[in-house]
Amino acid sequence: MEPFTEKVIKVIKSIPKGQVMTYGQIARVAGNPRSARQVVRILHSLSKKHDLPWHRVINAKGEIGIQDEELFFTQKSLLESEGVQFKGKNRMNIEAYRYTPDCEDYI
């Protein structure tokens, strides 16, 4: 497994209940700020295998970015069960729920 992939997995696993991180934020903390799309691929392909809390990853607008209706509602329900409140259908106050880990922990 590539070092970046390992770091991304570690970062995602560290997101506490009731908090979120963005794809770009995870990429930055894992050491490659221009790899938000790679974070998406890692989530898609390794979430089950590594038991990742995939539902705690959102887009930079503070929205659920999943287009699939069933997965969208699953993600929203999981976040709401952890105390995350939404404004409208899919937007949250990202600053209220953003998890900001110390980047030094992942180097």
pLDDT at 58: 96
| Domains detected in the chain | 3-106 (1.10.10.10)
pLDDT in tens, 62-91: 999 888 999 999 999 999 999 999 998 889
HEC states along 31-96?
CCCCCHHHHHHHHHHHCCCCCCCHHHEECCCCECCCCCHHHHHHHHHHHHHCCCCEECCCEECHHH
pLDDT-derived band at 107, boundaries 50, 70, 90: low
What's the mean pLDDT in 17-38?
A: 95
Axis crossing angle, helix 36-46 with helix 3-14, rounded to the nearest 10: 80
Share of the chain above pLDDT 70, in %: 95
The alpha carbon dihedral of 101, 14, 28, 84 has a sign of negative
pTM of this prediction? 0.91
Closest CA to 7 of 50, 59, 48: 50
What's the mean pLDDT in 88-106?
A: 85
pLDDT at 105: 65
Residue 104 pLDDT exceeds 80: no
pLDDT in tens, 37-57: 999 999 999 999 999 999 999
